[in-house]
Every structure is written in structure tokens, then in C-alpha cells.
Chains A and B, each alone.
Chain A
């Protein structure tokens, strides 16, 4: 079945460092891919998405490119801030089913001043 695998955390960085959080997926067909962010004490929020191969999603300085050849959707940011500390979830949706998203296990990011 479809699945999403994320790198284990926590990822600890200093402010202004470069961020990469790895995400790979297994899916039949052509899923859409998403990154959600969960700030402390809050629900998840959609950060960015990509709906087809080679699409790049971007928002708030974060980017991720849908790589079909490597089945990956890695999240990147050039310069992290303390306010980016959160848990990041990679997710996919199956085009043949509209009833759920499949989430990865989440990666906690801690950014130190």
C-alpha cells in the first residue's frame, strides 16, 4: 500500500542554517504530495504541496520538489529561524481515493538562537 517515510528527528540547527528534511514515498499511480507543519500546541497547517512530477511547492521560504524518479519530496529552507521550530509532516494523497491523506511519522525541528 501507499506509505510515506521521513527522517527521524529531532533535527537541531542553529539560526540561519540550511535545512533539509528527507521524505520518500511509495505509491501506485501519481499521488499528490504535501508538507504540513505543526507548531507547539496547535493543529497541523498545510505548508506547501505539489501535484505532479517536477512541480516545486514553496511557501514561507520553504521549498520541496516532487521527484518521481527518486520517489522523494524533501523539504528545504535556506536560512531557518527560531520561529520555524515545529514538527513537519510529509503526506500524500491517492488520486483514486478522496477519503484520506497518508502521513509520515513527523520530524521535529529545533532551531537554536
Chain B
């Protein structure tokens, strides 16, 4: 089954404790991206990757890192989480780019930073 898998789905952590949210897709997609969803703000892009070893900042990259060492995986790293990073995070992928609009989304990872 074609899917984007995120882990963990739910996480409560404390300020400053490094964490990684994993994202994996099994569709051989070149493009992957991370969004955060906050009430009243919709989805905002954190980072994206057009292909392996190619990553770039989105609209709200502060406090996050990513890597794309393999085509299927695109982990999101919070080196020192802060309460303002409490949010619902989505990973998405597409065959090539986002402008076809056919993004496939994971089920989301709800992160709470105390």
C-alpha cells in the first residue's frame, strides 16, 4: 500500500530535549516536505527536499533541521525543542515537486513541548 509513515504519532517532551520525528515513503517520490499545522494558521512549510541530498528552508525553519540521505526518508530534527514548537506536524511527498498539488500526507505527529 502506498503510504507516508510518520513516527511517533504522539509525543510529550520537555524543553531542550532533542528529538527526531521520522518520515518514510514507499512510493519512490523525489519530493518530500514538512509542514506544521496550528489553529487559525493552516499549514506552514518548515523544510522541503526536491531530491536526495537537496534540502531547503520553507517559511518557518527556525529551530528545525532535516536531512535527506535516502530517497525514502526525511527526518525532522528538533535539536532543542521549545514550547512554541508544540504543534501538529505533517510529512508529505510527491513524485516531482509540489506544483501538481498531488501531495501524499502522513497521518501527522502531535508534539507537545513542556
Contact = CB atoms under 8 A, between A and B. Distances in A.
B99 A44 contact: no
B103 interface: yes
B97 interface: yes
A95 interface: yes
B48 interface: yes
A105 B59 CA distance: 15
12 contacts: A42-B107, A42-B108, A49-B101, A89-B43, A93-B101, A98-B31, A98-B97, A99-B50, A99-B98, A100-B45, A100-B58, A104-B42
Interface of A: 4, 32, 34, 41-46, 49, 89, 91, 93-95, 97-101, 103-106
Given A44-B92, A100-B59, A105-B41, 17 more contacts: A32-B100, A41-B107, A42-B107, A42-B108, A43-B108, A44-B105, A46-B102, A93-B99, A93-B101, A98-B50, A98-B96, A98-B97, A99-B97, A100-B33, A101-B98, A103-B44, A106-B42
